[in-house]
Amino acid sequence: MKVANNMNFKAVEKQIKAAIGVYADTAARKMEGHAKEKAPWEDRTSNARNSIQGDFGWKGDQAIITLSGNVDYFVYLELAMAKKHAILIPTIHQVSIEILQGYQRLVR
């Protein structure tokens, strides 16, 4: 007796990619919120804090999560004064562990 394979692998792949996309978008927003909340500097104009942006996109089959500060002086906040005011890299290091653990639970 021959059993037919009725599995639609393209549909399953599409569903998995959609789930990963939703998870990555949520993770990007979480990183953005964390960075905005924990930024160690005192606001003068709130421009730097408000410019922090978490984003997600696809590069081929890879989900890419980015975190950026989008004012021209953000590089100084991240790198000057012995990185005293840095928030992007510390946020990525802290939150990425949690994100990767959640991703592992998602794909099991």
105 pLDDT above the threshold of 90? no
| Residue 52 near residue 34, CB atoms below 8 Å | no
> Nearest to residue 21, comparing CAs of 67, 60, 59, 56?
56
* pLDDT tens digit sequence for 14-49: 998 999 999 999 999 999 999 999 999 999 999 999
Residue 12: per-residue pLDDT: 85
> Nearest to residue 103, comparing CAs of 53, 62, 75, 68?
62
